[in-house]
Amino acid sequence: MDLEESTNITFADLGLCDELQKSLTSLGYEEPTPIQAVAIPAMIKGSDVLGQAATGTGKTAAFALPILQRLYLQDKRGTKPMALVLAPTRELAVQVSEATHRYGKFLNARVVPVYGGQAISRQLKSLSMGADVVVGTPGRILDHLKRNSLALSDLETVVLDEADEMLDMGFAEEIDAILAKLPDKCQVVLFSATLPDKIQGIISNYIKNPVHLKIQKDALLKNTSPLVVERAYVVQRSHKHLALGRVLDIELPQAAIVFCRTRDEVDRLTETLNGRGYRAEALHGGMSQEQRDKVVARLRSNTAELIVATDVAARGLDIEQLTHVFNFDVPSSPEAYVHRIGRVGRAGKEGTAITFAEPREHRLLVAIERLTKKAIKIDKLPTLKDLRVKRMEAIESRMRTVLEESDFEQFQVVVDRLSEEFDIVEIALAAIQSFYSVSNAGPDFEEELPDLMQKIPSGSSKNRESRSYGSTDAGKKNKTFSRNESSGGVRLYINLGHNEGVRPKDLVGAIANEAGINSRDIGDIEIKNSFSLVEVPGQIANNIVSALNKTTIKGYRLRAKIDEKSFSNRHDGGGRARSKKKR
């Protein structure tokens, strides 16, 4: 089943108990995302589900909420889990476990994460105390099954999250061994951004008559307005507000909407933007119609310059002054994207749509491009230098206007007095400098931001090849990221190799888990007898090295360093954070 943007469906319509609805309200979720609107009732009904959905679509809640709904209906809780979620990396396992815990807080759900790299004793203790939902990486789950510290006999649901990623990381055998132990009636749910052939084996062996969900409707030709310029920036979540500020200062929108996923995000971002001197107003479903009308009126009358809104609240808005739409989060479906950016480019006017994507969200951008049949240009974040140039241009233009209006006689006396002591050019420069500092944003705005553009392979954009980091499969040598100067890839030397029994998936797992990066960002791997070489994105190579140097593989202490030879290929290190002294 293809999914379109869901409208007018509430979490209550999906058959979720009050406790779950309460936690969703407290998290600021206003309505189900498209994948949730279909997956939740299907899972509650007991069907197996095959969901083609990437990060950012709301897939975690799509499978966690029905699991929790089942938990709510249970009379008593034993020590054995009723649900198991398999995830490719420690990072994702922790994320899923935390989200499930949050959704199930009013049900006192016992959610236990288990993953490689964490002391097994701690996990043995948590499991023995009883768990309702276990979330783990395949290797460690299998480990617990072998030790009999985890029983699957009471399982009612098993979820394979990011199945393609798990297979890319070489977990096929482990997954097969785990699934072979499932009780007969266990519901099987598989989420995967892509459904390559190698997943078909799992599907045909373990999934029965699934409800098949696909996030985008490829066949539907949905062009966005040709008058709208679409761009995206790739930034870590923690840098998004700084990136937004930087881009706002470069773009100088007349009026804009900034879209967020939840009410809480809307409130937080509005506060941050106001604290930085923007005139921003919140707009979300928790506000009365009267309050919402007032907010829109303030934007129309130029009293506000930015509206920070959820999708629900901004539905149908038609504001003539709007020049920009910013997606602070990539929307949960391509249709929602089309809907959001349709706020600009109306009535023959030009508009700009700018999306801030986290590195893991690139697949959502590709899905959007596929739907709109239009490339989203992935751009380099404006640098401090760009910003200064822009500010100088703005000052020049402002000075020009003042000079042309020549309405400054009252200040003549100041110039007269100062010119007795100073040169007239110096006085002019001082005047400009004081104007510059007044119009300048706070110092934290001047932080240099790491440019993650290189981390994202864009779907249909022309320059895809030059920055595509393909996935690394066990031993397989894909042409992964090309080592031309624009790729920014560097090679890491790692002190372990065949002698220590190291396999590609051990290296991928260690790098993905320890440094918290997507395995798709890891390039070629060469394993020699006494050492290995791994290609990683240059911008984060140092972080990866320090994370790896704190870890072990197969009990061996790992030592990593940047391979000398790759220095010539490195990007200049100017992207790293450095604080800037104000003049």
* Site size with ligand AMP, rule: CB under 6 A: 13
Residue 199 Cα distances to 68, 172, 209, 307, 478, angstroms = 27, 9, 16, 43, 19
Least distance (Å) between residue 7 CB and ligand AMP: 13
Contact 280, 304 (CB under 8 A): yes
Q: Which of residues 259-278 bind ligand AMP (CB under 6 A)?
A: 261-262
Q: Residue 93: which of 115, 72, 67 has the closest Cα?
A: 115
Whichever of 30 and 451 has its CB closer to ligand AMP, that residue is 30
Least distance (Å) between residue 74 CB and ligand AMP: 24
Least distance (Å) between residue 402 CB and ligand AMP: 46
Least distance (Å) between residue 464 CB and ligand AMP: 24
Q: Does residue 57 touch ligand AMP according to CB under 6 A? A: yes
The residue within the footprint of ligand AMP, chosen from 56, 81, 138, 382 (CB under 6 A), is 56
Q: Does residue 365 touch ligand AMP according to CB under 6 A? A: no
Q: Does residue 115 touch ligand AMP according to CB under 6 A? A: no
Amino acid at 494: I
Q: Does residue 60 touch ligand AMP according to CB under 6 A? A: yes
Q: Is the dihedral of CA 131, 132, 138, 143 positive or negative?
A: positive
Q: Which stretch binds ligand AMP (CB under 6 A): 57-65, 117-125, 196-204, 376-384?
A: 57-65
Least distance (Å) between residue 84 CB and ligand AMP: 18
Q: Is the dihedral of CA 531, 534, 540, 544 positive or negative?
A: negative
Least distance (Å) between residue 327 CB and ligand AMP: 13
The residue within the footprint of ligand AMP, chosen from 16, 41, 59, 193 (CB under 6 A), is 59
Whichever of 102 and 483 has its CB closer to ligand AMP, that residue is 102
> In 3-state terms, what secondary structure has residue 109?
coil
The residue within the footprint of ligand AMP, chosen from 14, 20, 32, 457 (CB under 6 A), is 32
The residue within the footprint of ligand AMP, chosen from 51, 58, 351, 509 (CB under 6 A), is 58
Q: Does residue 29 touch ligand AMP according to CB under 6 A? A: yes
**Tokens linked to 258:** 């900034």
Least distance (Å) between residue 36 CB and ligand AMP: 6
Least distance (Å) between residue 107 CB and ligand AMP: 18
- Residue 2 DSSP code: B
Q: Residue 365: which of 456, 455, 451, 453 has the closest Cα?
A: 456
Q: Does residue 513 touch ligand AMP according to CB under 6 A? A: no
Contact 218, 188 (CB under 8 A): no
Q: Which of residues 527-566 bind ligand AMP (CB under 6 A)?
A: none
Q: What does the angle CA 167 – CA 376 – CA 249 come to, to the nearest 5 degrees?
A: 120
The residue within the footprint of ligand AMP, chosen from 23, 52, 55, 225 (CB under 6 A), is 55
Least distance (Å) between residue 60 CB and ligand AMP: 3
Least distance (Å) between residue 80 CB and ligand AMP: 26
Whichever of 57 and 454 has its CB closer to ligand AMP, that residue is 57
Q: Does residue 331 touch ligand AMP according to CB under 6 A? A: no
Whichever of 261 and 362 has its CB closer to ligand AMP, that residue is 261
**Tokens linked to 392:** 């100088």
Tally of CB atoms within 10 A around 10: 13
User: What are the two backbone dihedrals, phi and then psi, of residue 90, each rounded to the nearest 5 degrees?
Assistant: -60, -45
The rounded distance, in Å, linking the Cα atoms of 569 and 26 is: 48
Give CA 107 to chain center in angstroms.
28
Q: Which of residues 373-412 bind ligand AMP (CB under 6 A)?
A: none
The rounded distance, in Å, linking the Cα atoms of 376 and 364 is: 11
Q: Which of residues 83-102 bind ligand AMP (CB under 6 A)?
A: none
Whichever of 6 and 352 has its CB closer to ligand AMP, that residue is 6
The pairing of strands 49-52 and 211-214 is parallel
Whichever of 58 and 170 has its CB closer to ligand AMP, that residue is 58
Whichever of 264 and 448 has its CB closer to ligand AMP, that residue is 264
Least distance (Å) between residue 27 CB and ligand AMP: 7
Q: Is the dihedral of CA 32, 33, 34, 36 positive or negative?
A: negative
Least distance (Å) between residue 35 CB and ligand AMP: 8
DSSP string, 513-581: HHHT--GGG---EEE-SS-EEEEEEGGGHHHHHHHHTT-EETTEEP-EEE-GGGGGGPPPGGGS-----
Whichever of 59 and 144 has its CB closer to ligand AMP, that residue is 59
Give CA 324 to chain center in angstroms.
21
User: What are the two backbone dihedrals, phi and then psi, of residue 226, each rounded to the nearest 5 degrees?
Assistant: -65, -15
Residues that bind ligand AMP (CB under 6 A): 29, 32-33, 36, 55-61, 261-262
